[in-house]
Structure 1
Amino acid sequence: MAARKSRTAAFLTALGTTRGVYEVRRSRAPGEPARWRRSNYAGRTVDLYAGPATVLGAAAGSAPVGARGAVALAVLAAGACGAYDDRAGAGDPRRGFAAHLGALRQGEVTTGAVKLLGIGAAALAAGALLKERPVDRLLAGVVIAGGAHCVNLLDVRPGRACVGVLALGAPGLLRGGTAGALAAVPVGAAAAVVGADLGERTMLGDAGAHALGAALGAAVVAGNGRAGLAVHALGVIAGTAYGDRVGSR
């Protein structure tokens, strides 16, 4: 009963906060409205309000779970790095980690490099809060950062990232304790905006996609020991490498 209440509270908090922030942003957007508009893959104009909404929703949903602030740290850092790329990196034609790391070796700090290093550092810090042994902490950091990047790679068509988070997070709702409650966080946040995303009225952007992925990764970390962490770490590394190679073409 306690586990069910915890899952429900996390889900409703994430869903309600995300939806509330999204509606407030739509009615009273800060700054010039043009700052919050982008053209999607089909050339249609959509807003970016789902991004900050899901960041704040996922962070709020994780607060009562009791994971020592690890999930909120990972979500907020991933969302901040993604938001920076949404703003400053919109016109950068470079795609893929190799391109951004190559620029970094030449002394240029790109928005992609900021995302890679910033999310990686925050994920390792979150992993250190969630696990006790050094190897487990390292694997946890890889899973959280890899989850953030993998969900972002899905966000190339309307609703794809939200639907992916819902599908990947739903099995975790069957778990008890912290793992089940943490799984409810990205599921609730994604559920709040999936309709608007599929309807091509909004997009997650890098901010929302990275935040949802970090929350999903944290739920995986909470529900697995070393063997499970190793399997998931290999999975997100392979998925990120494949998506990075395909997306950079």
Structure 2
Amino acid sequence: MIRRLLVSTALAGAGALAARGAWTALRANPPGGSKLWERVNHRGETLTLLEGPAYTLGAATATVLAPGVPARVKAAAVVATVGGGTFGAIDDLRETGKSKGLRGHLGELARGHVTTGGLKVLGIGATGLVAALLVPSHRDRADSGVVVRLLGGAADTLVSGAVVAGSANLMNLFDLRPGRAIKVMLLFAPAASGAAGGRLVAIACGAGAGLLPVDLAEKAMLGDTGANAAGALLGTAAVTGLGRGGQLAVLAVVGGLTLASEKVSFTKVIARTPVLRELDMLGRRPA
């Protein structure tokens, strides 16, 4: 147990160092120039979206170098993280269409309009499925017969892919106030003491913690790039460590919260709930 905690702590530290290193490098040489990444926050102040690429690069790098994580799991995590970050960046930098939320993007796709938001939904869905195919299967060994095994495998892949993609989308819904999305990530830190999946959680949380100071200071934000990457990485950790039942439970929670977000503002719920409000404001400037 102590050894696992030490390993998880070391991996979290590696994620933090990698993310901070990427942040420093990107700030010194922003791709396309610093203006490309500038946005106005909820206060009307200018900040940068470079935190998102820094998170994506840092988390992916730490994953590749992580000891004790099977090669296929590393590949799945990198595909999910980089995929989430890449399609998130397209939406961050080249946003088209006025639709918001998953329902809005799917509605545009149904009408034949491919917006950057719709492209993100399709792209993260595809990379989520690739990640699901790479992660070793958790199918029930009691299954018998070729057809049953094939159908079971296809169903498991779809569920796992939905967990990865759904987690990427859900994390993005929390990136509306300084530090909020990273604080949500850190809620999963207790799961970092597990095996391969736990090590991915440690990296995801560590990379977020390394960038939390600049996020809370309102100098930068994750944007779709970082939030989608973080959610996808945590989703990959979930499908790596959980069996069919556990993944279905995660999918139910992710799906329920995503549907709820179409009707209810998370920001308003947090503001009305004392404990959540205090956690949300922890380390932030007064509103």
Asked if TM exceeds 0.5, the reply is: yes
Whole-Å Cα distance in 2 between the matches of residues 245 and 84 of structure 1?
A: 26
Q: Deviations over 1:170-214 (max 9, x none)?
A: 121232x21221110110110011111111010001000000011
Over the matched positions of the two proteins, sequence identity in percent amounts to 39
Shift of 1:140: 1.4
2:60–2:81 CA contact under 8 A, matched in 1: yes
Q: Which runs of 5+ in 2 are unaligned?
A: 140-152, 266-287
Pair 1:242 & 2:260 matched: yes
Give the aligned partner of residue 199 of structure 2: 181
User: Hey, what does 1:153 align to over in structure 2?
Assistant: 173
Q: Which residue of 2 aligns with 1:69?
A: 75
Distance 1:96 1:246 in 2: 12
Out of 123, 141, 146, the position equivalent to 2:161 is 141
Residue type of the partner of 1:71?
A
Contact kept, 8 Å, 2:193 with 2:199, in 1: the verdict is no
Change (3 A) 1:208 1:68: closer
Within a 5 Å distance, the mapping from 1:5-44 to structure 2 comes to 6-44=7-45
Shift of 1:2: 6.0
Question: For 2:181, what is the secondary structure of its paired residue?
Answer: helix
Shift of 1:8: 3.8
1:127 is aligned to: 132
Q: Where does structure 1 lack aligned partners over 5 or more consecutive residues? A: none
Question: 1:172·1:219 contact (CA, 8 Å) conserved in 2?
Answer: no
Moved >6 Å (runs of 4+): none
Residue of structure 1 in register with 2:115 after alignment: 110
Q: State the 1:6 CA deviation.
A: 4.3
Answer whether contact 2:77 2:131 (CA < 8 A) is retained: yes
Which structure has the bigger radius of gyration? 2
Deviations 1:59-106 (A, max 9, x none): 1122133214000000000100000000111x6432122222222222
After TM superposition, the score normalised by the length of structure 1 is 0.92
User: Which TM-score applies when normalising by structure 2?
Assistant: 0.80
User: Displacement, 1:5?
Assistant: 5.5
| CA distance in structure 1 between the aligned counterparts of 2:34 and 2:248, rounded to whole angstroms | 44
What secondary structure sits across from 2:173 in the alignment?
Answer: helix
**Alignment partners' CA distance in 2, 1:69 and 1:157:** 32
Q: For this pair of structures, how many residues does the alignment match?
A: 244
Q: Displacement of 1:9 after TM fit?
A: 4.3
Work out whether 1:216 is the aligned partner of 2:222.
Answer: no
Amino acid at match of 2:81: V
